[in-house]
Every structure is written in structure tokens, then in C-alpha cells.
Amino acid sequence: MTALALSPPLRRVRAMLLRHAYLLLGSWPRLLDLIYWPTVQMILWGFITRFLVGQSGYVAQAAGVFLSAVLLWDTLFRGQLGVSMCFLEEMYARHLGHLFVSPLRPMELVLANFLVSAMRVLIGVGGAAILAVPIFHYSLIGTLGWAIIPFFAVMMLFGWAIALIISGLVLRLGLGAESLAWAAIFFIQPFSAVYYPIDTLPTAVRWIAYLLPSAPVFEGMRTVLVEHRFDGDLFAQAVAVLLVWLAVGAVAFTLLFQSARRRGLLLQSGE
């Protein structure tokens, strides 16, 4: 499909996507940063797994349980950060005012940022997953099989839902709230049961895990690794909770964006 065949909204999305793609692909430090942290995480947890294989029957039975967990978690983290960073870069450059006096609509910018985020995740997490093969003789796709597709999709979409809320808050509150892009995601990590079953959590806070689509994904991942089966009930639970998060994210971003626009904050976003 050529650019001339695209509708005006899709052409605007394409323009924003190409802008960030050229910015990313034209800067090797940015590419290195995408690959660096997932690779560091992969190497760290790979050595931890190698040690625990000789110490724990559970880990020995479920080879790669920590590597699978850290790569899936990084999918969530990188998906959220990819969208949030697109908005932050526009604010740093004071481009938001220019963008929104053009025909570009907010949801078109969001869609373009989603595509940029997906590209970042594929480069970062994909690069780390490929390096895990020669370093630890571990293949994420070979271990989880086709189940990696629904797990990956849920984690990516959950990251985008969180990013919509964070981006809306940064637009409304200004760059003083930019630390949310890095810090907010780690609040939910202990309750997401990334490296341990939900039952490990204290009973008083276990209900939080059931409000997160990430927790059943990691439970389902361990079911695949230990019992060699895909738990459809856990996945259905993850999708149901995910839909709520996506709705909340979309509504929160829309309301916060409209509030920021009414107050003229988009023109002051670089301050």
C-alpha cells in the first residue's frame, strides 16, 4: 500500500511513526540503550538460573523459568516506556503545540507511539532473547512455544494501558512528573508474581495481583514450563482484566489531555 493510497489519518500516523523511526535508527546510542538493559537482565538472571538449577528441583524441572520471567517483564516495562518516552521527547523539544495545531489528532499520535513502542520492544527484548541462545543455550520461543504470542500480546498491551495514564499525567502536570515513566511500573512488580507464584504474596495484599493482567500471565508461563500445558482460564482472566485497564487508560488519557489543552499547558510543555 503506497502513501497515496492511505487515508489522511493513516498518513499522519505514518508521518509520526517515520519521525520517531528515523530518530531511533539514526542514533546508535539510542539503539544501544534499547538492547543494553534487557541484555544485562538476561545475563544476570541467566547466571542465577544456572546456579539454582543445581540447588532447586523446581527450577531444574522448569528450565529457564527466571529467564522467561525477566524477558516477559521487560516486554511490559519496555512497552510502557516506549510510549511514555515518545511523549516526553515531544515535550522536551516543545513540539506538542506545533503538532496539535496541525490536522494530527491525539489518537493518531497515540497509535503512532504504540507502533514505535512495539519497534523498541522487538529490538530490545528480541535482541536479548537472541543473545540468550548462544550464551545460555536457551530459546524463549523454543521453551514457551506458541504460548509466547498471547503472553507477549497481553504484556505489551498492559504496558500501553499504563503508558496512557502516565502520559496523560505528564501532559497535565508537566515534566515535573516525568519520573512516573520510570518509577510507576515498579510499584506493580511485586504484585505481578514475576518470579514466584501468587500464593507467595501475603493474603492481605493478594487481591492486588488479581487486579493486574500481568499476574495471571506469569502464572500461566510457569504452568507451561512446569506442567507443559497452556491454562486457558488464566489467560481468559488476564484478557478480562486487560480490557478494563485499556478502557481506564484510554479514558484517563483523553480527560487529562483535554484538561491540559483547555489550560494551555501543551504550549508550555517544555517548561
- Asked whether 41 and 131 are in contact (CB, 8 A), the reply is no
Q: How confident is the model at residue 200 (pLDDT cuts 50, 70, 90)?
A: confident
Cell of 44: 544476570
- Asked whether 53 and 158 are in contact (CB, 8 A), the reply is no
As a whole number of angstroms, the distance between CA 249 and CA 138 comes to 35
Instruction: Please tell me whether the overall predicted TM-score, pTM, comes out greater than 0.85 for this model.
Output: no
As a whole number of angstroms, the distance between CA 183 and CA 190 comes to 13
What does the pLDDT look like over 38-72, one tens digit per residue? 776 677 566 666 656 665 555 555 557 888 888 99
| Dihedral, 184, 48, 218, 125 alpha carbons, nearest 10 | 70
Residue-level length of the chain:
271
Q: How confident is the model at residue 271 (pLDDT cuts 50, 70, 90)?
A: very low
Q: How confident is the model at residue 105 (pLDDT cuts 50, 70, 90)?
A: confident
What pLDDT, on the 0 to 100 scale, is given for residue 96? 76
- Asked whether 102 and 9 are in contact (CB, 8 A), the reply is no
Looking up cell 516495562 gives: 77
What pLDDT, on the 0 to 100 scale, is given for residue 209? 92
Cell of 165: 495514564
Q: How confident is the model at residue 185 (pLDDT cuts 50, 70, 90)?
A: confident
Instruction: Give the number of other Cβ atoms within 10 Å of residue 223's Cβ.
Output: 18
